[in-house]
Amino acid sequence: MKICLLKPNRHSRFQINPPLGLGCIASSTDSKHVIEIFDAQLENLSPVEAAKKIHLKINPNVIGIQVYTGDHHWVRKFIEWYKSLYSEKTKIICGGFHVTALGEIAIKYLNCDYGIMGNGIPSWHNLINEIDSDNEIKERLITSYSNKFVNPYYEKMNIDRYFAHLHGANIPLKGKRPLVFMATRGCPFSCNFCASHIVHGRIVKRESYFITAKRIQDLIAKYDIDEIIFADDNLIYDKDWAKKLFKFMIKMKLNIHWKAPGGIRADIMDEELSELMAESGCYYVGLGIESGSKRMLKLMNKNLNLDQVEGTVNILKINEIKTSGFFILGYPGENDEDIEKSIRFSLEVPFDRIQVSKFIPYPGSKIFDILYSKYSMMDYQEDDFNTIYDNVHYEMYYGKWIRKFYLRLKIIKLMLKDFNYNQLKTIIKHPQIKEVIKWNF
């Protein structure tokens, strides 16, 4: 059979990564099938354009679609167009976070033939073979979890086409040929705003440090990679394993840059770990702080001791690893005093940069269940569930916070050192920059 794995287009040009999830699905497909990954975001296509291109180029028997919340309107339109214009018979299977979180509601809205919840691996494999054999399939929605550690099939992802996009958005960036890589899956913590566990579970799964380092070495050899962007939820959670991995990367003389921009816990660091990170090529990590108010951290179930954060940042600084503090603005229960505490905290701790995100309750997170389980989610729109603040209040604080942090001489100097022309262009075009400029000091 011919199978197309589709990544929808969110019309964001800000950060376009090779779709690791679809790469894993491709790895779990029998080699007797012809499989192609089609990235509609990379090609910036509308649903109708993507449908036409897939039909003309691949004409698949099956289309598997990765659906994150936020992609689901695009996906629904794609399915409608594909079925009505090109082929009623092509089976369409949806999976990923949105389908896992909302199950029946999601597949009804998307109007796909089948939905797979969970990490997808065993059921995808079986379902494809059942479709191929023309067997009767009773269940439209299948739940599928496996502890098997599957790695993405990078060969199917057209890696060369992503370098230019990663350059525009990834700040800072040291390499010329960076590649996204995930060494672990799962996170044992239970932050209320996070959906990660519904697909990857609360147990950290990983391969041996030796195999992980070998995989990186192979990617370097195959694609001439000079930087690894770790997309892990928490790369250093198992400290011993992480230390062994970095030691081994040093021993193997991989000679690459790496960073973990997605965020690591701010309470796990020690000097040896920081030294090994730096020596193995690390120059930048994100730290998930979320709030400078202890009361808010409790409400978020973040389980982070704020008093340890400064120590971690300083230990990393000694080894010239830059840090970005991640904060959420507008979590339910937050008041102006909490926001002021967060702003103060971000200024007192010597972060090199910060990222402030508008709170959105994503399906799959506990806070989403608390707030919205009683409503019909058929027409869930991210923008309808933005934040507890009205937009004026939110934008005012967002602008104030970003300006207070970034309009400091030492930060401006640091940032100018990191930027190249492409990155500046991408930042200036970013919609949130407008919010920063709009509000007075």
Site membership for ligand SF4, residue 315 (CB under 6 A): no
- Do residues 287 and 323 make contact, with C-beta atoms less than 8 angstroms apart? yes
Closer to ligand B12 by CB, 17 or 315: give it. Answer: 17
State which of positions 208-247 bind ligand SF4 (CB under 6 A). Answer: 233-234
Span 114-143, contacts to ligand B12 by CB under 6 A: 116, 119-121, 124
The one-letter amino acid code at 390 reads D
Smallest separation (angstroms) from ligand SF4 to the CB of 124: 24
Q: Which residues make beta-bridge pairs with 147? A: none
289 is an interface residue for ligand SF4 by CB under 6 A: no
Q: Is 260 in the site for ligand SF4 (CB under 6 A)?
A: no
Q: Tell me if 189 contacts ligand SF4 by CB under 6 A.
A: yes
Q: Which does 162 bind (CB under 5 to 8 A by kind): ligand SF4, ligand B12, none?
A: none
Q: Which stretch binds ligand B12 (CB under 6 A): 78-86, 92-100, 203-211, 272-280?
A: 92-100
Encoded tokens for 306: 């704020």
Strand order in the sheet with 34-39: 34-39, 2-7, 62-66, 91-95, 114-118, 141-144
User: Which CB sits closer to ligand SF4, 113 or 334?
Assistant: 334
Q: Does 361 bind ligand B12 (CB under 6 A)?
A: no
Measured CA to CA, the distance from residue 153 to residue 27 in angstroms comes to: 5
E-state strands within 61-176: 62-66, 91-95, 114-118, 141-144
**Least separation, in Å, of the C-beta of 193 and ligand SF4?**
7
Residue 355, binding choice from ligand B12, ligand SF4, none, Cβ under 5 to 8 Å by partner class: none
Contact 106/114 with Cβ under 8 angstroms?
Answer: no
Q: Closer CB to ligand B12, residue 202 or residue 438?
A: 202
Sign of CA dihedral 344, 405, 396, 393: negative
Rule CB under 6 A: say whether 71 interacts with ligand SF4.
no
Residue 227 Cα to chain centre, angstroms: 18
> According to CB under 6 A, which one of 110, 171, 182, 191 is a site residue for ligand SF4?
191
Contacting ligand B12 within 197-236 (CB under 6 A) = 199-200, 231, 233
Q: What share of the chain is helix, strand, coil (3-state, %, to 5)?
A: 45, 15, 35
**Sole residue written with tokens 């409608």:** 80
Residue type, 67: V
What's the one-letter identity of residue 341? K
Residue identified by tokens 């690791």 is: 20
Query: Interface residues with ligand B12 (CB under 6 A)?
Result: 10, 12, 15, 17, 19-22, 24-25, 64-66, 68-70, 93-98, 101, 116, 119-121, 124, 182, 194-196, 199-200, 231, 233, 262, 357, 360, 362-364
